[in-house]
Amino acid sequence: MYRYLAITFLFILLPFALFAQSFNKAINKDSLLNAVVADLPDTIRNNVLEVYHAGTESDREFLLMLLAMPRSSKTELIKNIDTNYASVSNLRTEYAKIVPKGLIVSIEFNPKNYIAAMDETIDMEIVDSSRSDSNRIMREWQMGYHSYKLKKFLDRLKWDNNTLVKIKGLLDAAHCVSIENGAITTIGYQRSGMGKYFYDLFDHDLTSNEEIKKYNDACMYIFYKKNIVLEYGSGATGSMCFPD
């Protein structure tokens, strides 16, 4: 079990290294460790502690960042769409009005991460289907709010900071973190570890057996009702299927 956990954590932690996140040195590691393992089952807690104490200082910091990542669930995903559908639907409608015609734009607002010593950032991708050159796709992660990189995206879309404020407000009202327009609007509900839960909203109710079967595969997709499909993305590692 120890060897399995060590290898699993190694591959899960690699994305942190790629993004060059640094641990906040002002945090007391022992106190944080006690807090993040408190709710784990005894067996898992003991294994995590064993891996933690066997690792290097850098390994421990990465492990703490992993364990402190936000967690969500299919239950919370469903509860939000049931109780907050009007705001989720309004997010979809209003965002479609903001995005310039002919473009698919994905945007995610990343909250400040005190443990990883990172300020709020924005991930964006713009796809222009009318082009076939190297400028067809613009993509950048973790852009600072006042960075030159973000300004290039805003200029391309003819957006400004007020546009970002409006989108962030719509996402907050829907209790969501990201959105991408298109024939199917994909709305990111919450991240959970390295994974993420989504709503896929269609412009029509799914009624045919073929459509429902395609978006009810007992893995990545769950047909919920009418025009709503639930989706789970595992991120860099792990099973592609809903974990719960």
Over residues 33-42, the pLDDT tens digits come to 888 888 888 8
Sign of the C-alpha dihedral computed for residues 16, 71, 203 and 156 taken in this order = negative
Contact indicator for 187, 177 with CB cutoff of 8 Å? no
Please state the pTM of the whole predicted model. 0.84
Point out which residues pair with 198 in neighbouring strands.
188, 231
Domain locations in the chain as residue ranges: 2-67, 74-233
Output the pLDDT for position 191: 93
The pLDDT, as a whole number, for residue 129 is 84
pLDDT given for residue 12 in this prediction = 46
Q: Of 71, 77, 74, nearest to 244 (Cα)?
A: 74
What local confidence, expressed as pLDDT, does residue 21 receive?
Answer: 65
Mean of all residue pLDDT scores within the chain: 88
What's residue 237's pLDDT? 58
Q: What residue ranges of the chain have pLDDT lower than 70?
A: 1-21, 117, 235-239
